[in-house]
Chains A and B, each alone.
Chain A
Amino acid sequence: MSAGQSIDETVRAAEAAAAVEGRPPASAGAVIEVDRLTRKFNGFTAVDEVSFSIGRKEIFGFLGPNGAGKTTTISMLVTLLKPTSGKATLNGFDIATQQDAVRQSIGIVFQDPTLDDQLTARENLEFHAMLYNVPRSERESRARRVLGMVGLTDRAADRVETFSGGMKRRLEIARGLMHYPHVLFLDEPTLGLDPQTRSAIWEHVHELRAEYEITVFLTTHYMEEAENCDRIAIIDSGKIVALDTPGTLKHGVGGDIITLRSADSAATVAELKEMFQLEAAVKPASADTSGPAGDRIYLEVPNGRTLLPQILKSLTTEILSVAVREPTLDDVFLGLTGKQIREAPVDKMDAMKTRIRRRRSMGGHR
């Protein structure tokens, strides 16, 4: 299988050339460089001039509601979809003109399953290795290694159709690693999985970075998950509305959120305004608010943990309960787009996807 060598050589040669030209060699600076990438479908703009760059060994997250353009962006970066305009390089290769080198540099776990479920787990890995020029002598050891990593060693000889959804997902991640990619794309890797499997997958992602030194580009619409990333781009209606570390993004919300319950809400609000110049918002406990009935008083403060004791000492009205929490990415998303990510409308595409997914998980016949 010397085809592999030839592509590897191309990769190496191009990396060397890139270094000579003064671009950062692939091992240093950005591994993905995206410049005003745009994709339109019959006049509808799915991805609208997005620009960002991702550094080596970074875990980069794309966070956005259904239909935001996450998958479309990935499809362009992995050379399955042509950009309408804009440019992007991956590992130093142009996604429009150096497709083979780009493809050799990446691994991808698609949003929808792409395993051959009539084949065994090991066969799926083997075929993948062949497609990606992995030398025959290494195929078995690599398969063993990645299977061990996702905890499927003892299922290697079973047909994929006998696997659960979570096992299939883990196998797909393992498969994406067979050819030691520079960048691993994970399009909603944990969609529809239980919390246990979800956190197992996140463990793998962090292990991967440590062990294989790869860059991970993932999409999600779970806020809790996005917090595992080094940096997050929040994307809504095809545009990146914010891009930073989860910490900084949350900081941008304006600090912590204090919730109070008091015997006399109106008096408390007045006192807060008088003594601390704080604008408090009062919301009646709604049906979905847990805990005892009564109004809640919300305060957004820069540093809740130090301010709260002072507030409690000064207030004269009786306080029934208090809580301080850090802002979540939900608050960030809400602040940026004016809507809650989970409430974002579920469009037709998504309803269809769910249906397909359901049909698949029920084991569509062939």
Chain B
Amino acid sequence: MKRFRAVYIIWLRDLKRYFRDRARIIGSLASPIIFIFILGQGLASTIGQNLPVGGGSLDYKTFIFPGILGMTVLFAGVFASVSIVWDREFGFLKEMLVAPVPSWSIAVGKVISGATIASIQGCIMLLLAPFAGVSLSPLIIVELIPTLFLVACSMTGLGVLVASRLKSMQGFQMIMNFIMMPMFFISGAMFPLANAPTWMDTLSKVDPLTYGVDALRGIVLTGIPTRYAFTTDIAVIALLSAAMVAIAISTFSRQT
């Protein structure tokens, strides 16, 4: 347990900063809300109740709700990992690097704190469930929270991996724009992948968010057939998270 002391310290600091920054909490909820109410509402009025999903049909807003959860976690997780770039630029990273703590604990601490923050954001989004025509039972919520956290870990892991290699803010934003948007759209968050062209289908298989959205959809929309089995989704996400954290750790440990 002693070894995780530094992880806890980093987590505590990041959460303190998060709760202090109201603008950030509200700001990062803006785009998911826009997606549900504007895009969701807009497309729902065209497609209406008739989105064909696995034999039946669904309201479009309902269909995208798990996807929006995935998006929230993706954006919040990646945004949280930007703090590494800030810490580097504003020097605080040095304070941690020179402390007598194992260097892996910095990467792990950042992933866990980022994932916690992203999960909190995801949970706030649950308040919008009624507007999307989704009813949440306590059981669903109990299943949802750890799943959100795991998905958040993979997204933050990716962010930390990129951030640990980058020295500048601009570079980070560039790369993340390149990665985040395609990741989001190809994941099946906004439309079913069943009829997608082959290239998109292939890309979606290497997109960690595909498995995240699939798992979240399976939990939230009970009875809807999913692309993969829940256990497959979870296994893939866990594996990807572990791999990304491992690479991020090795970047941090490399003393120059």
Contact = CB atoms under 8 A, between A and B. Distances in A.
A366 B86 contact: yes
Contacts of B2: 2-3, 6
A123 B16 contact: yes
A360 interface: yes
Nearest to B96: A131
A110 interface: yes
Given A7-B100, A82-B256, A116 B5 contact: no
Contacts of A128: 95, 99
A50 interface: no
Interface in B74-93: 86, 89-92
A119 interface: yes
A148 to B, nearest CB: 22
Interface stretch (A73-81, A149-157, A196-204, A314-322): A73-81
A1 B92 CA distance: 23
A108 B98 contact: yes
Contact of B17 (A7, A112, A119): A119
Contacts of B3: 3
A113 B256 CA distance: 21
Contacts of B256: 81-82
Most chain A beta-carbon neighbours within 10 Å: one of B5, B98, B256: B98
A104 B5 contact: no
Nearest to A118: B17
B20 to A, nearest CB: 6
A110 B13 contact: no
A92 B171 CA distance: 42
A101 B92 CA distance: 21
B94 A110 contact: yes
Interface string A97-117: 000110110101010111111
A3 B5 contact: yes
Nearest to A11: B100
SS class, residues of chain B in contact with chain A: helix
A110 B16 CA distance: 24
A172 to B, nearest CB: 9
B95 A114 contact: yes
B227 to A, nearest CB: 39
B14 to A, nearest CB: 10
B170 to A, nearest CB: 14
B100 A113 contact: no
A364 B100 contact: no
Contact of B90 (A100, A123, A364): A364
B99 A113 contact: no
B191 to A, nearest CB: 36
Interface residues of A, number: 35
A301 interface: no
A130 interface: yes
Contacts of A2: 2
A79 B9 CA distance: 21
Contacts of B16: 119, 123
Contacts of A103: 98-100
B44 to A, nearest CB: 37
Contacts of B97: 80
B94 A114 contact: yes
A119 B13 contact: yes
A100 B103 CA distance: 10
Contacts of A80: 94, 97-98, 255
B101 interface: yes
Given A127-B9, A133-B100, A81 B94 contact: no
Contacts of B17: 116, 118-119
A113 B90 CA distance: 7
Most chain A beta-carbon neighbours within 10 Å: one of B6, B16, B91, B255: B91
Given A6-B2, A116-B13, A131 B101 contact: yes
B90 A360 contact: yes
B65 to A, nearest CB: 31
Interface string B1-44: 01101100100110011001100000000000000000000000
B164 to A, nearest CB: 16
Interface string B90-118: 11101111111100000000000000000
A79 B100 CA distance: 10
Contacts of A360: 90
A106 B101 CA distance: 13
B100 A127 contact: no
A78 B97 CA distance: 10
Interface string A66-91: 00000000000011111000000000
B103 to A, nearest CB: 9
Contacts of A113: 90-91
A132 interface: yes
Contact of B92 (A115, A130, A364): A115
Nearest to B92: A116
Most chain B beta-carbon neighbours within 10 Å: one of A2, A103, A113, A127: A127
Contacts of B255: 79-82
Given A113-B91, A123-B16, A131-B6, 15 more contacts: A7-B100, A78-B98, A80-B94, A80-B97, A82-B256, A110-B94, A114-B90, A116-B17, A119-B16, A127-B9, A127-B12, A127-B13, A130-B9, A133-B5, A366-B90
6 contacts: A1-B5, A114-B90, A114-B94, A118-B20, A119-B13, A131-B9
List 3 A-B pairs, minimum CB-CB distance, nearest first: A114-B91, A103-B100, A3-B2
